[in-house]
Every structure is written in structure tokens, then in C-alpha cells.
Structure 1
């Protein structure tokens, strides 16, 4: 096994271990306890209200809520206070190679950036609800949530670049030899021209966007739920009335609720928006490298893992629900952002902490 393959496998093993530990600590302990989430939500609400008041708005914060006259206000629920995002950020920094003291300093700095981002997001939502109410739901559902992924991605790139990873050796960083045509003349590969490379990236990103919104995101993902996930989960239910299955999200999510009402879980079709955004980015910056295709395959694989784990949970294997939660809540986001970071590091030569396996010549 080559050194690069071992480094990738070690990195993936660390990521898995870190997010399993985070799931046990947060989802099974801190979240049910509620005190940490309540404190953080109230603190974010208080700072957001103070910031709005400081810039001249008549705003007030009460508990988890921030409001202004004439609107219902914004309530910061568990899962929207940035704590899960902090766990996602810390997991990558811990797993990715770097110097101990730099990691110890960078993690609090990143947590502060995520906290400030969430305060800005809450302020923006309150102002949108007050002065542009028609845009509140789209921004709350997509735009102002995506900002978390952008910030975490930026922090990961900074860590991958300056975390203290060993730089590439002269042999590995030397430019690849130019290709020659059959007549012996030297020729330049397309990515060597930045303009052509970006044009190719824009074309590929446009193609991906078109395929997603015309075929994959509308028809194929709904078919995955209707013809694969729902029949499998319905068959796995121990009794016809043990679980209630309901299709939501325009046919792309199947929600399950136990007959006693004490457990609610859901399964989402693979390669949704959490795939599309990093895939478009990878297509733009690396159009000649199949990073976006690896990303798509990984999302499909994680969806199958999540479905299989949920099926085991319905069969009575308690660990199945835990694996499903880790895969769907953390590994999908970690894999998406991690591929974008590693692609960026490789394309722009920002670091060599984790090197994808190279094909032998």
C-alpha cells in the first residue's frame, strides 16, 4: 500500500472516529440534556438583539427569541445555534494533519468565527422579516443556512494551508512533463491556459446545474425514494402499524414516526443541495479532474449506508439508528466539504497534508 493511500485511509478513519465521538457526546448527551443548547441560543439571541439596538433598530431579545415591533421575530432552536456546525468544523481540524499548538489555537478562533457568523445570520433574518418579509422563507431555508457551509469550508482551507502540514517535496511539486503529439511536437494541455480552464469549468458547472434541475434533482431523486427507500423501509417494519411512513420534501424525503410517537426519523434521497454546491465549486476549479464524480459516488454510497442502517434499526438493531444519524447528519456534510477542501488544496498547491492516491504510470 502506497504512502498516499495510507494517508487518505488514516484521515478517513480519523474523521469517522471523531464524528462518532461527537454523535455520542452531542446527540446522545448534550442535546437531550438541553442546557448547553439553551445557553448558546440565549447568548446568540442576546448579542443579536444588542447589535440591532446598537445600530439604531428597536429590537429586543427574550430568551431564545429576537424580535422587533410588527413582526413575530426569530427564535433560535436547537440545531440552529451553530453548535452542530462547530462540531463539524472541529472534527475536520482534529482529523487533518497539523501541528498540535497551531490546532490548539485555531480551534477557538474558528469557533469564534462560526459564532459571529450565526449572530450575523440572526440579525439578517430579523431585518429580512421586518423589511422584506417575502424573502424570509427562502433565505431561512437555503441562503442564510448555506453561509455556514461557506464559512466552515473557508476555515478548513485555511487550516489545510497553514496548519503546519509538510510541504510537498521538490519531486512531487515539479510540473508534469508536457505531452507530445504523435509527430513529436510538444503540446500544452488545456488546463495550462487559465482562461480555457475556467471556460471549461464554467461549461461543466453549467452542465451539472442543468442535469441536476432537469433530471437528477427532480425525477431521479424522487424515484429513489418512491421505488427504493420507501418499499425497503416499509418491508423492514416489524408490523404494518409499527411505523407511519410519509413522503415529504417534494417526494425526496421519507419520514417515519413510531406508533408510540417517541421516535421520528427520516431518510433523504442522495446527492441533494449538499452535493450540488461543492460539486459546482469542484467543477469550476478542477474541470479536468473527476472530483465532482467522486463526490457524487460518495453521496450515493452514504445514502445506501444510511438506508441500510435505518433498515437495521427498524428490525430492532438499536445501533442502526445511531449509524443512520451519524451518516446523515455529519458524514454527508463532512464528506462534501472535505472533498471541496482537498480538491482546493490539490489544485492550488496549498498543502500536502492528505494526498489522494495517484495512478501509477
Structure 2
């Protein structure tokens, strides 16, 4: 047993670090959601911000858009040219995806500065890509409402998780190359 632990020490350390960081960030995010009272920013600040930025980008693309709090659920309604096309819910703000990304990168950490900068840059890339995803999805649902299922459940989740995977692979390959040079 001791030989196995020694042999797989790096793998075990990766798994434990990943689970610890993921748990800490997820619990922190849970408390953030619980403490959000929804009076100033409905349903919570991050989701509200994403919804407002979606509206601004849609307006910038020439759509007459509006984002309003949903009357019956904790979400924001995206309305284009008077037509309700989508809801921005808590899961649309990319925070959970960023937590997953950060957990992996930190579990596979390099030097503090490079890890911190990559976490920051990757989080910004994921957030921006997610925002663009919501804008394109909203416009797509406005023009092609019959394509809702494939757009929302296949293409756009594949795109957001695809960008996370590419960022992970870039990090691992960068880290691995540096590691191989030093050995």
C-alpha cells in the first residue's frame, strides 16, 4: 500500500487539492447566493450583471432589447423587440464554470504568480465567452425559436465547456513542458 501511495503521490495530491479548492469555492458561492437578498440586484449581483451586460451588447448589435426581473422565479427575462426570448438564471452567470476551471488550474499549480495570472485571465475569458454565448443564444432564439433545444442544450453548453477544456489543456501543456525541461 505504501508503494502505491508513493507511486501515485502526484495524482493523489492533484485529486485532494482539486476537491478541496472546488469544495471551498462552491461553499463560498453557496453562502454568497444565500446572503443575496435580491432587493437591489435581482436575483443576485452576478446574474443581474450578466443580464444587464447582455442587454447592452444586444442593444449594441442593433436589437431593441430589455431585461426585466421575472415575476414568478429568480431570473431575468431577456426581451428582444417586445418578444420574450430567454431567461438569465443563476446558472447562466458562469460562476460555477469558473469555479470548476479555477479548481483544476490550482490543483495543477505552477508558481504562484503564473497560476494567479492564468486563473485571472482564464476567468475573464470564460466570463466574456459566456456573455457572448448568452447574447448569441438570445438573438438565435429570437430569429430561430424552433431551434431552442439544440441551441440551448447542445451547441452552447458544448461551446462553453469546450473553451474551458482548451484553457485547461493549454495550462497542462504549458506546465508539463516547463516540468520536463527542469527534469
State the TM-score, normalizing by the size of structure 2.
0.81
- How far is the alpha carbon of 1:70 from its aligned partner? 4.5
Q: What is the CA–CA distance in structure 2 between the aligned matches of 1:80 and 1:54, rounded to whole Å?
A: 21
Structure 1 residue corresponding to 2:58, chosen from 46, 52, 55: 52
Q: Which residue matches 1:15?
A: 18
Q: Which residue matches 2:28?
A: 25
Q: What is the CA–CA distance in structure 2 between the aligned matches of 1:21 and 1:142, rounded to whole Å?
A: 30
SS at match of 2:22: helix
Q: What is the CA–CA distance in structure 2 between the aligned matches of 1:92 and 1:48, rounded to whole Å?
A: 28
Cα 1:34–1:147 change in 2 (3 A) is farther
- How far is the alpha carbon of 1:4 from its aligned partner? 5.3
- How far is the alpha carbon of 1:131 from its aligned partner? 0.7
Q: Deviations over 1:271-328 (max 9, x none)?
A: xxxxxxxxxxxxxxxxxxxxxxxxxxxxxxxxxxxxxxxxxxxxxxxxxxxxxxxxxx
Aligned residues: 170
State the TM-score, normalizing by the size of structure 1.
0.43
CA RMSD of aligned residues (A): 2.4
Maintained 8 Å contact 1:99/1:165: no
Cα 1:169–1:42 change in 2 (3 A) is closer
Choose between structure 1 and 2: higher helix proportion: 2
Q: Which runs of 5+ in 2 are unaligned?
A: 70-75
SS at match of 1:73: strand
Structure 1 residue corresponding to 2:141, chosen from 125, 129, 132: 129
Structure 2 residue corresponding to 1:34, chosen from 29, 33, 36: 36
Q: Aligned pair 1:139/2:151, yes or no?
A: yes
Maintained 8 Å contact 2:94/2:127: yes
- How far is the alpha carbon of 1:77 from its aligned partner? 0.8
Maintained 8 Å contact 1:53/1:59: yes
Q: Which runs of 5+ in 1 are unaligned?
A: 173-361
Q: Which residue matches 1:82?
A: 94
Q: Aligned pair 1:112/2:124, yes or no?
A: yes
Q: Deviations over 1:114-141 (max 9, x none)?
A: 1111111111121112111110122112
Q: Deviations over 1:85-141 (max 9, x none)?
A: 010011011110311100111111111111111111111121112111110122112
- How far is the alpha carbon of 1:164 from its aligned partner? 7.5
Q: What is the CA–CA distance in structure 2 between the aligned matches of 1:96 and 1:165, rounded to whole Å?
A: 13
